[in-house]
Amino acid sequence: MSTIQQIPRSAVRLGLAASRLPLTAAEAVLGKQGQEEWPPALVFEGVEAQVQQVLGSLLHDDVLADEGRLRSAKVERLRQAANLEAEAEQRRQQADTTFEARRQQAERAKDEAARAEAERKAQIARDEAEAKQKAEQEARAEEREAAEAERKAEQAAQRKARRSRARALGAEEQALAKEKAAAARARDAKTADTKVKATKAARTRA
């Protein structure tokens, strides 16, 4: 390896290192040091690899060209790994989304079941209250009917008793009238008999 080839190789390396300083500063600020799979780092690494390969070919520097090819292969592996990780992350997100959707669906189903159960219990309570109210109304109606029937029966009994008393009073009045008539007839007969006896006595004295 000649010194003439080492000088351009060193210059290329220094130039690439210098051009990477802004990216290195960004990595420090963003906390991305050592994260080779970081997209900006991968892009720069790929550019460096291409530069090394092109300059190595132009300078007939096999070492520089090999470094470029190795770095290019490394970048490709990192990109593939990043793609796989991105796909895995996407699948994880999809799985999380699916899980969350199913969880929410299960929660909604649970809430709906709870609401349905609460509504069923409320309906049962309403039905029971309605049945109780209806039974109480029917019982009050029966009580009113029984009271009305009892009142009518009592009124009928009172009317019957009044009629019986009226008939009894009528019979008593008729009996009294008969007694009075008989007494009057007896008095009239006695009076007539007295008159007859007096007439006979008067005739005898004459």
Chain segment 87-120, per-residue pLDDT in tens: 888 888 888 888 888 888 888 888 888 888 998 9
Could you tell me the pTM of the whole model?
Answer: 0.38
Number of domains in the chain: 1
Give yes or no for residue 42 having a pLDDT over 80: no
Q: Is residue 69 part of a domain?
A: yes
Look at residue 41 in the predicted model and tell me its pLDDT. 66
Is the pLDDT confidence value at 77 over 60?
Answer: yes
For residue 204, being part of any structural domain is answered with no
Which DSSP letter does residue 36 get? T
Q: Tell me the torsion sign for CA atoms 185, 189, 194, 198.
A: positive
pLDDT of residue 6: 57
Q: How far is CA 17 from CA 23, 28, 65, 189, in A?
A: 10, 16, 17, 175
Q: Let me know if residue 178 belongs to a domain.
A: no
Sorted by sequence, the CB contacts under 8 Å of residue 46 that are 6+ apart come out as 72, 75
3-state class percentages of the chain: helix first, strand second, coil last, to nearest 5: 95, 0, 5
Say which DSSP state 61 is in: -
In a domain, residue 12? The reply is yes
**Does a structural domain hold residue 144?**
no
Those residues whose C-beta lies under 8 Å from the C-beta of residue 23, and which sit 6 or more positions away, are: 40, 41, 44
Residue 130 covered by a domain: no
Residue 205 placed within a domain: no
Residue 187 covered by a domain? no
pLDDT at 135: 86
Residue 67's nearest CA partner among 35, 75, 188 is 75
Rg (CA), the chain: 67
Handedness of CA 123, 125, 128, 129 (dihedral sign): negative
33: domain range?
Answer: 3-108
